[in-house]
Amino acid sequence: MTPERWDRFRGPALVLLAGAATALAVLVGYAIPDMPLLVVGGVVLLLVAVVALTQPVLLPLLAMPLIVVVLRFGAGPVDMTIADWILALAFWPAVFFAPRPFSPELRKLLWLNAIYQAATLFTVIANPFVANGVEWFHAWLLVSGALVVGWAVGATGQARLGVSLFLLACVALALPTIAEGLLRYAQGNFSEVYPSWPWSMHKNFMGNLMGIAALILYARPTWLGWTKRWAVPALVVVVTALAVTQSRQALVGLAVGLLVVSFRRHSERRRGVVALIVVAPILYLVLTMARDQIASGNEHNSWFQRLEWYAESVRIWLEAPWFGHGLRYWTQADAPGFFQPPNAFLEVLASAGLVGLFGFLVLWVGAITVLYRADPAFGTLALALGLSRLAQAQLDLFWVSISVSAPFLLIGVLLGLAAHKAREPMPERTREPLVTR
């Protein structure tokens, strides 16, 4: 950020901060007898805002490790995760103070998401309930907001620190998950693990998060600065945690991402053999688990439940084929179905109809094209993250808070880093390879 740009926004920022301080003082006097924790949180938030005035990249950096926090805070239709709140908070310094101009790749992704948002606006108008409008803004935050926050981290040269914080947060969640699994195994219980510490998490959320971390550690880009001494043990930890959750969707997403990283660049093609050695057992494990569920004949297991939900999702869509029933329609008392469709395309169809599905296809086909054409030194991992998420969501929920925002946050970091490197003087050697030898 240039000094001129900072001077332009310093005055309005100080005015807003003064207003926030006044409001906080009133809140302290009114609420501290009954809600001391809320007051403490507000004071901490104000202190962070003060520091952020001198270091605008602070909040985007804080979003990198806190993006994994699935604890919910709020009420009613604005009951969101801590990760959502910190992302919304970090967006403002990112959008005002991040280096400009945005790269062509980032601008294209933002426009593609704008097309999706315009397409889903029809269902917001056709189905006027509060959660529908809130989710419309929420979906924009999870994609465009995350991209801009990630861009602020990468374009200011803080990609190494930001991604390292994210990976350390994932490892910190992986360790108690593994410990919980080992305790269960010692008792003869070999079922999937739903982590309960440091907070309760769904196995598919945890598996998806570990898959993202595993993909970055497998790629181990040189700019990250993690040697094998650190990257390999961390990779073992997150993959073990993924295995403990037994999340088949996350395993499929990870397999797709590994293949993209391994085969995208000609200079890294020899690693394709390693990827196939890793991916083959993953796919075999997933197919074996699915086969066992089919053979069990238990109509209540996840395989048969999904088949039932797929058919029911199509039936629900046919009731409102053009504009759907509204975003998060299943939360309403008069909803045609009380489950979130476990497939990205069926979810969009039932929620936003054919018009929304068109916008969703434009978003993803366009995003894949943009990332495929980006500088492979950064675009390869970004493409792998995007395709991994899309593949995983063919067997699971798509619009789920962190599972969407984390990949797009990291894609934003990679695009910002590419722009940051492009502004630096060219070194004597060619651009750095994707993977450290």
Predicted confidence (pLDDT) per residue in 192-218, tens digit: 999 999 999 999 999 999 999 999 999
Domain membership of residue 431 (yes or no) is no
Cα–Cα distance between 164 and 158 in angstroms, integer?
Answer: 10
What is the pLDDT, as a whole number, of residue 308? 86
Residue 268's pLDDT band (cuts 50, 70, 90): very low
Res. 399 pLDDT band, cuts 50 70 90? very high
Long-range contacts of 188-195 (CB under 8 A, 24+ apart): 191/246, 192/244, 192/245, 192/246, 192/247, 193/244, 193/245, 193/246, 194/245, 195/245
pLDDT of residue 338: 84
DSSP state for residue 427 in the 8-state scheme: P
| pLDDT (0 to 100) of residue 266 | 44
Q: Do 169 and 32 lie in a common domain?
A: no
CA atoms of 247 and 251, how far apart (whole Å): 6
What's the pLDDT band for 275 if we cut at 50, 70, 90?
low
* DSSP bridge pairs for 72: 81
Q: Are residues 44 and 108 in the same domain?
A: no
Looking at the structure, do residues 8 and 100 belong to the same domain, yes or no?
A: no
Is residue 327 located within the same domain as residue 261?
Answer: yes
Q: What is the DSSP string of 329-388?
A: GGGSTT-S-SS--SSHHHHHHHHHHHHHHHHHHHHHHHHHHHHHHS-HHHHHHHHHHHHH
Q: Is residue 437 part of a domain?
A: no
Quick check: 30 pLDDT over 70?
no
Q: Does residue 35 sit in the same domain as residue 80?
A: no
- 3-class DSSP state for residue 139? helix
**Final residue before a domain boundary, out of 54, 72, 87:** 54
Instruction: Share the mean pLDDT of the chain.
Output: 84
Instruction: Please give the average per-residue pLDDT across 120-139, as a whole number.
Output: 95
Range of the domain at 295: 59-423
CB atoms within 10 A of CB 155: 29
Residue 434 lies in a domain: no
Residue 225 Rama label (left phi>0; alpha psi -120 to 50; beta): left
Residue percentage of the chain with pLDDT more than 70: 74
Residue with tokens 């792998």, as numbered in its chain:
384
Whether residue 85 sits in one domain with residue 47 = no
Average the pLDDT over 113-140 and give the result.
Answer: 96
Residue 74 has pLDDT above 70, yes or no: no
Same domain, 82 and 3: no
More confident residue, 1 or 166: 166
Paired tokens of 323: 């504009």
Q: Flag whether 328 is in a domain.
A: yes
Residues 111-120, mean pLDDT to the nearest whole number? 98
Last residue in a domain, options 17, 34, 54: 54
Same domain, 119 and 162: yes
Domain count, the chain: 2
- Which residue in the block uniquely carries the two structure tokens 């978003």? 363
Same domain for 76 and 18 = no
Q: Are 38 and 65 in the same domain?
A: no
Q: What is the pTM assigned to this prediction?
A: 0.87
Q: How far apart are CA 394 and CA 404, in angstroms?
A: 13
**Do 35 and 103 sit in the same domain of this protein?**
no
